[in-house]
Structure 1
């Protein structure tokens, strides 16, 4: 039997849950399949283990399972959170993250008391063609109730292979109905922008991650904002896990003079490579506007490359919290049609030569998130009644306090707490039972997050800095 292996290599700078492999493992896999003459004592030991299990284990074990186990074991021995073996779904998730494309129904969703609510429907999507609208409530996905699902769980159910069917049971006001959709490729927007409603000369851009077209999308968003009269920019890379290094480099080049350093890659067996701003990125498009960049402790990898370049070469202030600190680069190789491997192959340095791995970027102006965003998450789904003293009661009391209630932190579902919950439930169109149920937990969490977004102190600091900056 012939075995062919197609190789594709992508330089990635991405936060730790994405996936991996190694050159040695590829040699081992190929050798296992009779394609490599390489033999030494170490590989003979692996062969002996393989043959012993294959011939003497009490039941038959698929060879693919043994090979994958050997690959995973070698990669795990690196003790590197960024080096992993990718098969099936994990491989698909990585490729979707890189491309910025998924297959789904094309609707933005949020949590509602009766299930999952549609916030927005994308143009030319399966959801749009089926007539779905904002505020439609998804009650079931493929017969599975959404009442106790998180947004992430519901989103996962709507995704799948292009062309496959997904059934939704929906409610629109008093009417319930069912639709059958076929999943289709959906391009995820990695760049969004808007004009600040209070300061119309300030444009606010969020970069969610660095995917295949992020630099082009960033350019388009800036051009659009400029046409609306924007003369200053806030670029938000908070919670941006990274992505493609080349896209971070191209994006940074827009804000720097040609020749200025963006990032230096230093590897074990290669000459250092320094990437600089140049005329070839985005046809030499340049942004000559005052800029502030927002970062936090989840801004990682490519997001840190972008922020560090603007800060150290472009003198752009960074506002927020210290970034994640991922200063290493991964190379992804395809083993075959169903598996890939990714290992750390280099480290990257900021324009001034700093290695920020496990250290992060220090903001120019440190602004912390509100303390209440560090509250312990709810841990139960049970409905808690009068007198309960489970941990979720104290969490609920802390959230209620953060939202303005004067309830005491007794840790017990007492009369005062039940009254506070009843008031909250009434204000948020929930049954005013005074009990702590799952719908109330979710509403409390969403309300707290919305309050944090409305009172965004990091963004306020950026606005303050730009307001002082003369045009």
Structure 2
């Protein structure tokens, strides 16, 4: 599987940047050419040609159902709504969250999603058992700045419940023009109480590559998403670091939701010896195609940083470095997205679109990481306060009460150096004293109670701590692992 010339225009996408769902999508499935494994074996470069078609009886049954609804149902229903519902019903029967139908408006939104910029909150979402769940906030986005985290569940947007909506319908409620507010009601893993988070929509930063030189001549390149210009930017920054005498490289793809597959191949290719596999793709018949490197490898070690928000393209990069280069992967087990979707816009013929799971991708050694993720060689958790949920601010928190809010309060206080005597969610006298100490340092009324003003100040302070590189235990571990290789 080589990406040359016009085949790159197939736009093989692992995550739609403004998207409704994390996905590896092939817009033009005919650009894939699977060779027969044995004489007479079937070739499936798309939907199987041997699939049974709908019989006259099937069509009559569907038509009769439509007529009954149209003529007998208590209320009049919209024709297009019924037809779209029938299509959605068939796709939902596949029990695959990545196979979706898009009506004309949603299909147009999908086209916008693969552009290099968009307006919204800046987060990838998926549908899990009917619930809208954050895959990862894009770094630097309004969602990240508001404290949204991977695996947060969104219950409502601006008071509108998301239950029962398709993923695309939910996303159209989440997205919106720059400057408008999205009031999200979320539930965080390990926290039973919903909280409201206000995110001001913005134009999402299209800059995808950030580089710096760390102590010890260790280069660090952060990739925030894999867009059309990312490989070029990566090459430029890599050459700049190499010219400064870089002895080792950290590639940071934490909270990177993915992007273009050909871009991942371009980035990884120089690090992998010629002829070795970078990634594999397998069809429904078990036939595989390999993308092989034309590179020469590098003479310095590389480590890759991943977390649970590293998905799709990020996982392909991590898997390639782990298996084809022998690099150490540091951090947390990644998201785990290993299937490939094909879009069928032309086939629908009316501006609507179906995005259907058709292939799966595998690591260079043929491992399928779907729902498992890339497991790090060096597992490192961030400090506990990195996972603190925003406070609900529904009531003033005070002594002799217990709640998830108090538990998150105690996490924040500990992270800021105002440790109480406990962290179980009970507001003790020592918790109150810790609050007083925080209030005193920050010029707030010293009450020992947490009202909205104190809560907002706490959240702002803890976000600053989370963003401070000195508290990044995963980055420290990656640098230490790299330094030990350099010193060998």
Using the size of structure 2 for normalisation, the TM-score is: 0.68
- 1:371 offset after TM fit, Å? 3.6
- 1:365 offset after TM fit, Å? 1.8
- 1:313 offset after TM fit, Å? 0.9
Report which stretch shifted further, 448-457 or 88-97: 88-97
- 1:232 offset after TM fit, Å? 2.1
- 1:111 offset after TM fit, Å? 5.8
Report which stretch shifted further, 71-80 or 423-432: 423-432
After the TM superposition, which residues 19-38 of structure 1 pair with which residues of structure 2 at under 5 Å, given as runs? none
Inter-CA distance 19–292: structure 2 relative to 1 (3 Å threshold):
closer
Inter-CA distance 322–103: structure 2 relative to 1 (3 Å threshold):
closer
Other structure's SS at 1:466 match: helix
CA distance, structure 2, for counterparts of residue 436 and residue 88 of structure 1: 48
* Counterpart selection for 1:314 from 317, 325, 330: 325
- 1:262 offset after TM fit, Å? 0.6
Kindly indicate whether the alpha-carbon contact (under 8 Å) linking 1:97 and 1:211 is maintained by their aligned counterparts in 2: no
Other structure's SS at 1:407 match: coil
Q: CA RMSD in A?
A: 3.9
* Counterpart selection for 2:421 from 408, 413, 416: 408
CA distance, structure 1, for counterparts of residue 196 and residue 249 of structure 2: 31
Instruction: Report the counterpart of residue 200 of structure 2 in structure 1.
Output: 155
Instruction: Report the counterpart of residue 66 of structure 1 in structure 2.
Output: 82
Other structure's SS at 1:313 match: helix
Kindly indicate whether the alpha-carbon contact (under 8 Å) linking 1:11 and 1:329 is maintained by their aligned counterparts in 2: no
Instruction: Report the counterpart of residue 133 of structure 2 in structure 1.
Output: none
Other structure's SS at 1:154 match: strand
Kindly indicate whether the alpha-carbon contact (under 8 Å) linking 1:22 and 1:75 is maintained by their aligned counterparts in 2: no
* Counterpart selection for 1:451 from 465, 472, 480: 465
Inter-CA distance 188–433: structure 2 relative to 1 (3 Å threshold):
farther
- 1:102 offset after TM fit, Å? 1.2
Inter-CA distance 384–342: structure 2 relative to 1 (3 Å threshold):
same
Kindly indicate whether the alpha-carbon contact (under 8 Å) linking 1:87 and 1:338 is maintained by their aligned counterparts in 2: yes
Inter-CA distance 50–287: structure 2 relative to 1 (3 Å threshold):
farther
Gaps of 5+ in 1: 1-7, 24-36, 113-139, 160-185
Kindly indicate whether the alpha-carbon contact (under 8 Å) linking 2:15 and 2:24 is maintained by their aligned counterparts in 1: no
Using the size of structure 1 for normalisation, the TM-score is: 0.70
In the alignment, does 2:213 pair up with 1:195?
yes
CA distance, structure 2, for counterparts of residue 396 and residue 214 of structure 1: 39
After the TM superposition, which residues 361-400 of structure 1 pair with which residues of structure 2 at under 5 Å, given as runs? 361-375=374-388, 378-385=391-398, 387-400=400-413
CA distance, structure 1, for counterparts of residue 306 and residue 26 of structure 2: 32
Gaps of 5+ in 2: 1-8, 28-52, 123-139, 148-177, 187-194
After the TM superposition, which residues 134-173 of structure 1 pair with which residues of structure 2 at under 5 Å, given as runs? 141=179, 153-156=198-201, 158=202
Inter-CA distance 229–66: structure 2 relative to 1 (3 Å threshold):
same
- 1:381 offset after TM fit, Å? 3.6
Kindly indicate whether the alpha-carbon contact (under 8 Å) linking 2:279 and 2:361 is maintained by their aligned counterparts in 1: yes
